[in-house]
Structure 1
Amino acid sequence: MNIIKKHPVNKLGYNFVEEKYIPEGKDEYYLRNSQNTGNTVYRKLTSQEIEVLVHNRNTSDNWDLIFVSSFFNAELVKNCKFYGLVRIGNLQPLYLEFHNLRMPVGLYNSTIISCDFGDNICIDNVNYLSHYIIGNEVMIANVNEIAATEKAKFGNGIITEGEEEDTRVWMELCNENGGRKVLPFDGMLPGDAYLWSKYRTDEILLDKFKEFTLQKFDSRRGYYGKIGDRTVIKNCRILKDVLIGTDAYLKGANKLKNLTINSDAERTSQIGEGCEMVNGIVGYGCRIFYGVKAVRFVMASHSQLKYGARLLNSYLGNNSTISCCEVLNSLIFPAHEQHHNNSFLCASLLMGQSNMAAGATIGSNHNSRSPDGEIIAGRGFWPGLCVSLKHNSKFASFIILAKGDFPAELNIPIPFSLVSNDVARDTLVIMPGYWFMYNMYALERNAWKYADRDRRTDKIQQLEYDYLAPDTINELFDALKLLNTLEPNEEGIAETSGFENTSRATEIIKVPQAVTLFAELIRYYGTMQLLHHFVNNKFSSFDALKKTLSAKIQRSQWLNIGGQLMQQGEVEALKRNIKSGKIKSWEEVHAYYINQGENYLKDKLYHAYTSLLEILSITPRQFTADFFIDLLQKAVETKSWMCKEIYESRAKDYSNPFRKMVYDTREEMNKVVGSLEDNSFIQQQTGKLDEFKKQVKSVIKKLKS
């Protein structure tokens, strides 16, 4: 039976906060007054204004509790019901226009309970507007309900005074059984979510993370909802306990409940038709359109959900897009792409720059007796069409999976590999270095694309988009160690085990080519970092360069913390500082990220130098000017080869007869897909190669002098 309580009508709009939760000497409006930061001086209505309001079919339980500014125009308030304390700013005879929505300034045809309004707002046909503070020039039309409750948390993982612990909202990342759950909070970065979900055996650290979250927010009851300046809300149904920034645009949403929607003039957020979002945080500059469902989530800044996408118990990193498909219990680092209705992602950690094709099913817990499996994938994870994976599986960086149903758990530690399930021969096939051999265009273009599309204005975490970086270089070293233990046949194929949870053998193909390639890539990475260091610091001699290089010869280990690469030792120091109390808040954790970002180029340089010494088996003493000149010349050869592969991997699309057969002429093909010669990215890369050759020539001249 529905329990419907009866109260005197003259109590409507009052007693928002239970008396026992109001501090001594305060009233129920004390938090509301602290939230309303405007400078408006309010006054009571004049008798003439009350007469106009009554004439315009407005009602109030107590006209003495309606306060207005000095430039209030009573003629612009019509057919409204007021309950409780209401404060209204300036109303002028104007109309506001946004995207062809034109509304006269004023309050019309609405029920308003205990709200504050800024200047020149447009409110029309809001059936129930309760306990909100609304900014200047806000436009709201045709909304069923906008209300805040006394226990509003606005999507943050807190509880208010007197609430039971089991009402707290957790976000169950990476694992369906909740074993890696974290508390969502406004301002949560990918690195925060990763650290909290990863180090589950460190109880002190986990307690500190919870403490940091709770101290960010006030547990007192009675906070009002807020709608920031210039926000537009039209044709929506229910907004409950939603905190909305400035310049947001909400149109046609079905239900928005317990949310923070961050938005400002430079980073506007939008939510569109048919969307339903509950218990979450929407970052700055987000776009959510067309039937999206999101529950227990965080969307980092400039991420998108579109076309019926479902995001549940998941963190979506910055600059990511999910369309149509379903994502459950996952932690996704920045720059993720997932565009197709029939792809599915479950209980996974994707560490950035990932792309899921149509039909991909990443994570099936049906091979376990409990839904507690996980998938971990390094940067650049790319499961192809109709790929099906089983928990648990783990992948190194830049793994591409060919179309197929992979029958068992996988552990692929070799980066830049193509992984295939050869059904006819019942064999798992791994091709190390595939990207460089056959798809250099996509590899290089993606690195450029992700950096170019990074829309963040507040870059607390420095994201690494280059495919050759400390994390992937260390993986290349590990892969070389593994590949050098194999005994390939004359065709370069070696059989091994341990890559798949089956008794069948795994084939690794092109082993000699991969060994040569990986060593060349490490050498190229080291040389390029030294070259950048030489040029950026305008050194005039090799000795000047050598003096700035670290005496360390031990290659450092690195971790991907939410898309930001950090030395393992620095991550351990961060954890120690948190547990010891040296770092006392999420803001100080974020300051640590910033500090690490400022040191990244230096740390990366030292890593590159030690990697170079290791791959060449030389000491710092043996690293001479002549040696460096030789490395620079080899780097030009590698860069030239890469540029050639970029062109040729794209040129295959123009020479493939099955691609060409849908066009009657080459001219028709060029009109439809663009000519190869006019490809702007290839032209850009060719230009960069020419600049690089000139730069190397200039540096070599200085080294010789």
Structure 2
Amino acid sequence: DGEIIAGRGFLPGLCVSLKHNSQFAAFTIIAKGDFPAELNIPVPFSLVSNDVTNDMLVVMPGYWFMYNMYALARNSWKYTDRDKRTEKKQLIEHDFLAPDTINEIIQALQLFKKFTGEAWILNNPGTAGDAVSVGEKLLETNDAALNGMDIFASGFENTGRKTKLIKVPACYSVFKKLISYYAARLLVNFIESQNITSVKQLQSLLPASTDVFEWKNIGGQLITAEAIGEMEKNIKSGKIDTWEEVHAVYAKQGDNYEYDKLQHALAAVKLVNGFSSDDSVELKSLLDKSVETKKWMVDNIYSSREKDYTNPFRMMVYENREEMDKVVGRLEDNQFIKQEKQAFEEYRLKVKKILGMMNN
């Protein structure tokens, strides 16, 4: 007996065989194959494959952002659009950037530092410093020496064979960028919802600084571990003794979710990127750079979908491009891509307006 524990967005491919117990971070995709042992994949957005030829597990962190942004973003929109509950009493999270994935990204960044440092020290005996600090320096500077260097992880598979991490430097940069973007996006929403008109007012209303805190996925709703612990304590003591009271806790946490998310996001960007909301220059920079990140995401949405229109193996069943366009539709007419481009333009204008307000 055993369990498979998977985070949101878990996607096992066709003909995948997994061993119990196994655990996967959010948005892990498993390539076709028979995996010989239990797996514990703590890095979100990873492509996991079984390299039979070289007898190793191969993990590509950040796969979705680098190679299939279209599917990742469209699924997030699709699940929200298809939520046809007549009464949406429980707040279900569909966004791929949310407190659970942000916490996993933070954990992944630490693992990247550790495993990169260990690989470097193995290849360069006598290197001063511990593995984490060595790895951090290499990744922060995107040292060219990392090109071609094999990086191996430990604890991902219950076997004695190797686990190889690929594209680590690229993913390290992407993950750090996403944490800043996530915080900026929530900040924009907060400024709009509170009708904030000055930097001073914004700073006075922002949540108090805190450490990054844990979240639990409760049936698709993300709730702080502290709130769940309090609810469990009240159930045991008899203070909560009906389902209506349990559901009332869910509803209250749903009402608090946006503010709690913002507090968590600011703590995350402070921890990872050294951000301080007390510094107006840093606030402006965070917002300004988020526009670049949003543009990068939209461009990747387009390019990852464009591959389906330029791949000769996709095109070979059609007489010509005109016939293909009639069957699958023109790329330029893709409604989701149009929607995302429009969303980017709206976001860009919002940030421009906010930055104008902050400069007054």
Q: Relative to 1, partners in 2 of residues 1:443 and 1:390: Cα closer, same or farther, differing over 3 Å?
A: same
Q: Relative to 1, partners in 2 of residues 1:492 and 1:434: Cα closer, same or farther, differing over 3 Å?
A: farther
Indicate whether 1:505 and 2:134 are aligned: no
2:316 pairs with one of 641, 661, 671: 661
Indicate whether 1:494 and 2:143 are aligned: no
Task: Measure how far apart 1:617 and its partner are.
Answer: 2.0
Task: Measure how far apart 1:605 and its partner are.
Answer: 1.1
Deviation >4 Å, runs of 4+: none
2:8 pairs with one of 379, 384, 400: 379
2-structure distance, mates of 1:619, 1:458: 39
Task: Measure how far apart 1:608 and its partner are.
Answer: 1.1
2:200 pairs with one of 523, 539, 543: 543
For 1:683, give the aligned amino acid: K
1:609 pairs with one of 259, 266, 276: 266
2-structure distance, mates of 1:642, 1:609: 21
2-structure distance, mates of 1:423, 1:609: 43
1:475 pairs with one of 87, 100, 104: 104
Gaps of 5+ in 2: 120-145
1:642 pairs with one of 272, 297, 300: 297
TM-score (norm 1): 0.46
- Partner in structure 2 of residue 676 of structure 1: 331
8 Å Cα contact 1:384-1:402 kept in structure 2: yes
Task: Measure how far apart 1:550 and its partner are.
Answer: 2.1
Task: Measure how far apart 1:568 and its partner are.
Answer: 0.4
Task: Measure how far apart 1:543 and its partner are.
Answer: 1.0
Indicate whether 1:517 and 2:166 are aligned: no
What SS is found at the alignment partner of 1:677?
helix
Task: Measure how far apart 1:498 and its partner are.
Answer: 1.2
What SS is found at the alignment partner of 2:114?
coil
For 2:162, give the aligned amino acid: A
- Partner in structure 2 of residue 582 of structure 1: 239
Task: Measure how far apart 1:493 and its partner are.
Answer: 3.4
- Partner in structure 1 of residue 134 of structure 2: none
What SS is found at the alignment partner of 1:639?
helix
Indicate whether 1:408 and 2:37 are aligned: yes
For 1:422, give the aligned amino acid: D
8 Å Cα contact 2:34-2:50 kept in structure 1: yes
Indicate whether 1:484 and 2:113 are aligned: yes
2-structure distance, mates of 1:493, 1:456: 48
8 Å Cα contact 1:559-1:566 kept in structure 2: yes
- Partner in structure 2 of residue 624 of structure 1: 279
- Partner in structure 1 of residue 254 of structure 2: 597
Task: Measure how far apart 1:619 and its partner are.
Answer: 4.5
Equivalences for residues 363-442 of structure 1 within 5 A: 372-442=1-71
Task: Measure how far apart 1:492 and its partner are.
Answer: 5.2
- What does the per-residue CA deviation read over 1:609-663, in whole Å, with 9 as the maximum and x for residues that have no partner? 111211222445xx32221111111101100000000000000000000000000
Percent of aligned positions that are identical:
54
Equivalences for residues 64-463 of structure 1 within 5 A: 372-463=1-92
8 Å Cα contact 1:392-1:409 kept in structure 2: yes
More helix by share: 2
- What does the per-residue CA deviation read over 1:670-693, in whole Å, with 9 as the maximum and x for residues that have no partner? 111111011000011111111111
For 1:641, give the aligned amino acid: W
What SS is found at the alignment partner of 1:421?
strand
8 Å Cα contact 1:492-1:512 kept in structure 2: no
Q: Indicate the RMSD between aligned Cα atoms, in angstroms.
A: 1.1
Indicate whether 1:573 and 2:264 are aligned: no
Task: Measure how far apart 1:552 and its partner are.
Answer: 2.7
8 Å Cα contact 2:276-2:282 kept in structure 1: no
8 Å Cα contact 1:379-1:398 kept in structure 2: yes
1-structure distance, mates of 2:275, 2:25: 28
8 Å Cα contact 1:396-1:475 kept in structure 2: yes
Indicate whether 1:531 and 2:160 are aligned: no
Gaps of 5+ in 1: 1-371
1-structure distance, mates of 2:76, 2:153: 32
Equivalences for residues 552-563 of structure 1 within 5 A: 552-563=209-220
- What does the per-residue CA deviation read over 1:312-344, in whole Å, with 9 as the maximum and x for residues that have no partner? xxxxxxxxxxxxxxxxxxxxxxxxxxxxxxxxx
- Higher RCO structure, 1 or 2 (CA under 8 Å, sep 6+): 2
Question: Higher Cα Rg: structure 1 or 2?
Answer: 1
More strand by share: 1
Count of aligned residue pairs for this structure pair: 332
